[in-house]
Chain A
Amino acid sequence: MTDNFENLLERRHENANRWKGEGKKIIGYICSYGLEEIVYAAGLQPVRVFGPGGPYKLSKEHIQPYYCQHCHGVVDEALKGSYDYLEGLIFPYTCEHGRAIYDSWGANMEVGYTRFIDMPSQTDLPQAQEFFVEELKNFSGSLESAFDARITKENLMASIKLHNRNRALLKEIYGLQMAEEPLVSGAEVFAAVMSSTVAPKEEHNDLLAGFLRELGEREDPAGAGPRLMLLGTELHDPEVVKAIEEAGARVVVDELCTGTRLVWENVDENGDPLAAIARRYLTGVNCPIKRPAAGRMAHLGNMAEEFKVEGALVLHPRHCDPNEWDMPFILETLKQRDIPVVKVELDEVFSPDNIRNAVDELKSKL
């Protein structure tokens, strides 16, 4: 069953080109702030953009070396023409790396539609919700006029329910990892989550339901070794998680922009749908660029306890400055729970040796 998820990831461009051939219009988004619910409600197919792994050559003509590998990966992949099927790119503002992708896209790609959505960075301000709702209204309006679409409350609510179902199923799979001997591996969970960003949610929900049935029939533990939590931001390559588990550890939970941050909080299905979407994106589980960090620290500590985490591996994408700011406080949060932490830097070319060494180091601290 996990082959299905990995296939979706491997064949994401092939699939998207097929949808395009079938008349589907596809919109890209840059990170975990995808606003997929609104894009889908406009009758468009949202997909997350990311690179396949380096080395990157084309991007270096456009993006300086001190911007992160995600930034280089996306721009490189787009310059190769892999994303020519996209009708547009949206960017709810997060960090300067995302901004560099968005700016470079506007300067170099022939993309009809681009939209910068002014997302507050200080998410707990009383004024942030009202402001963000206005931004979302304007964004919805711009999608409607650019694609001759109509976003009604009804189709927005239907889209919310579809996306909530996807998140709930993924969260249910995560929940299985709380068991003493999980029957599902971290690599399987990661592939399931990541593939949700490049697949129509109806199809993905069916796959997830099937996967859960299959997991119900499993009897053997998926792996062995200490229970790890992965920390970081953007991680796209399932091989990284596989390498960690092959080195003799079990990945039971994560705090990644391509992991729990995507699925942990649902959109409220009561009340005004745009207000509910705004609330979910502002006050759900945030990436470190969104402030304040206090809620995230508490959440991280709670997850570590719920999942009975024994060690944490920071997968730090090189030059990802948002991930650096909170590091002393993350270490403090985990230290309070006697959880050792090892940091490994991820460069544009994935090194299984680095991962193996980091896991060995972590195991020696347990």
Chain B
Amino acid sequence: MLTEPLQSWKVCKELANNFYEKQRGAKSEGKTIVWGGASIPCDIIRAMDIVPILGEPYGALCTAHQLSEELMATTEEYGFGRSFCAYSRNFVGSVLKNKGPLGEMPEPDFIMGTKSGCNDHITWFEILARIKNKPYIAIDAPMLYEEPGPHHLKYLEDQLTEFLESLEKMLGRKADEEKFVEFIKLSQQAGELWTEVLEFCQKVPAPLNFKSQLSLMMPAVSLKGTKEAVDFYHMLLDELEERVKKGIAAVPEEKVRLLWDNIPMWYYMQIFNYVEQKGAVVVVSPYVLGFGGGNLAQAGISPEAEALVAQSEPTSIQEAIREVAKEYLRSSLRHNLPAKTRQFSQIVRDYSVDGCLIHSNAGCKNLSCARLDLVRSVEQDTGVPCMVFQASNADPRDFNEEDTLAKVDRFLDELMESKAAS
């Protein structure tokens, strides 16, 4: 199978470098800095010219740099346990030890927690605000197991409006309406374009593997609300179109196509090379799809509720805030088990998946909730087998390499055999 390196890769790397460079230079440029989880409203924050430092990408970076064990030892010495979010244990350790992959972390002016499907997001940053003695702002998004209604939207809209007012007060300047609306529109566009990028992987062979997707999603997560993110995805889409036309695949051999569930083990990314050497490629993950526009069809909600949360183009600050609130609600619609099961089964069908690798992630109880029941339903719905293994996204102590690889070997052998026989 024809394969060649992705041209856009270099640009993505530059964007990431610039992102971290801007963080490092923010203080000397007199910018306001906020620490928060990846679900804080970065579009609003950027529209106010505030520089966000995001917890999960930072936690992943600590782990990828093999700093986790050292940082988490610091977290545990401080008196914390090791059952909660593994990203946060890296981040807190980095703050306490004043050590990290990018050197000293820029000091925040305020700290922010947003519950968007994850309680740890508000606890994590409340705790840091206490340790750092900084002002703290929280936004609480509903979990939405039931049908979304006007009170869900109002709850978020009111909080986001108040949030903007508090930023205006803190910064001593009003939001520029034109600029603000533009940031929100760019954020919407980046989400849509990211979904389009991933949809290219429905093609056989897939033009991108999961490992590349994880790097390429950086603009959708960390550069939300920027023109750079939108321009980058346009460029990437052009390149993907070309690759598909020419039949350029992500990997030389695509005997079986896999779905990966959950965050990867950032300290053990070689697992993807390992499966690829055996002719298997991870082509899709609900995890990376979660940073895109999403598919409301699987949410199982009424047409009225769908209309309530449907995206539209804002023309004023208030409308733009409503769009941010709607986006929070849309992303929450995948939380309950029936919706999650429908989503997984649809992904399996849309991406012609032959088997699913389910990372039961002890480092993220939110994303791992009810996985064993989910797997049974997906196997039943689609006839596609799933392999569950336990590890952690950011705590290498929870990973058993030998056992996991042995399990992967058996699973892939069976998958290849059954595919060859069909």
Q: How far is the CA of A102 from the CA of B370 in the complex (A)?
A: 9
- The one of B130, B158, B162, B368 that contacts A64, using a Cβ cutoff of 8 Å: B368
Stretch at the interface among B53-61, B149-157, B179-187: B149-157
B143 touches A66 (CB 8 A): no
Within 8 A of B (CB), among A53-71: 61-67
B422 at interface, CB cutoff 8 A: no
A128 at interface, CB cutoff 8 A: yes
B373 touches A66 (CB 8 A): no
Query: Given the known A-B contacts A291-B126, A325-B123, are A61 and B372 also in contact in the complex, defined by CB atoms under 8 Å?
Result: yes
Interface residues on B, range: 35 or more
Interface SS, B side: mixed
A95 at interface, CB cutoff 8 A: yes
Q: Which residues of B contact A126 (CB under 8 A)?
A: 162
A128 touches B140 (CB 8 A): yes
B373 touches A289 (CB 8 A): no
Q: Which residues of B contact A306 (CB under 8 A)?
A: none
Query: Given the known A-B contacts A116-B146, A291-B122, A291-B123, are A66 and B151 also in contact in the complex, defined by CB atoms under 8 Å?
Result: no
Q: Which A residue sits closest to B145, measured CB to CB?
A: A116
Taken residue by residue from 372 to 401, chain B's Cβ proximity to chain A (1 for < 8 Å, 0 otherwise) reads as 110001000000000000100000000000
Q: Which residues of A contact B78 (CB under 8 A)?
A: 328
Measured CB to CB, the closest approach of chain B to A315, in angstroms, equals 14
A125 at interface, CB cutoff 8 A: yes
Measured CB to CB, the closest approach of chain B to A70, in angstroms, equals 13
B229 at interface, CB cutoff 8 A: no
A7 at interface, CB cutoff 8 A: no
A13 at interface, CB cutoff 8 A: no
Q: Which B residue sits closest to A329, measured CB to CB?
A: B130
Q: Which residues of B contact A128 (CB under 8 A)?
A: 140
- The one of B127, B152, B360, B372 that contacts A118, using a Cβ cutoff of 8 Å: B152
Measured CB to CB, the closest approach of chain A to B329, in angstroms, equals 11
B5 at interface, CB cutoff 8 A: no
Q: How far is the CA of A328 from the CA of B89 in the complex (A)?
A: 14
A contacts with B, residue count (CB < 8 A): 52
Q: Which A residue sits closest to B78, measured CB to CB?
A: A328
- The one of A95, A100, A121 that contacts B140, using a Cβ cutoff of 8 Å: A121
Within 8 A of B (CB), among A3-55: none
Measured CB to CB, the closest approach of chain A to B155, in angstroms, equals 4
Q: Which residues of B contact A103 (CB under 8 A)?
A: 336-337, 369-370, 373
B158 touches A108 (CB 8 A): no
Q: Which residues of B contact A134 (CB under 8 A)?
A: 149, 151
B159 at interface, CB cutoff 8 A: yes
Q: Which residues of B contact A97 (CB under 8 A)?
A: 365
Q: Which residues of A contact B154 (CB under 8 A)?
A: 131
Taken residue by residue from 314 to 326, chain A's Cβ proximity to chain B (1 for < 8 Å, 0 otherwise) reads as 0010111111111
B83 touches A63 (CB 8 A): no
Q: Which A residue sits closest to B368, measured CB to CB?
A: A64
Q: Which residues of B contact A322 (CB under 8 A)?
A: 84, 119, 123
A327 at interface, CB cutoff 8 A: yes
Q: How far is the CA of A324 from the CA of B72 in the complex (A)?
A: 14
A100 touches B369 (CB 8 A): yes
B144 at interface, CB cutoff 8 A: yes
Q: How far is the CA of A135 from the CA of B113 in the complex (A)?
A: 23
Q: Which residues of B contact A324 (CB under 8 A)?
A: 80-84
Taken residue by residue from 52 to 85, chain B's Cβ proximity to chain A (1 for < 8 Å, 0 otherwise) reads as 0000000000000000000000000011111111
Measured CB to CB, the closest approach of chain B to A238, in angstroms, equals 26
Within 8 A of A (CB), among B148-177: 149, 151-152, 154-155, 158-159, 162
Measured CB to CB, the closest approach of chain A to B95, in angstroms, equals 13
A331 touches B79 (CB 8 A): yes
Measured CB to CB, the closest approach of chain B to A181, in angstroms, equals 34
A96 at interface, CB cutoff 8 A: yes
User: Residues of B at under 8 Å CB distance from A?
Assistant: 78-85, 113, 115, 119-120, 122-123, 126-127, 130, 138-140, 142-146, 149, 151-152, 154-155, 158-159, 162, 336-338, 360, 362, 365-366, 368-373, 377, 390
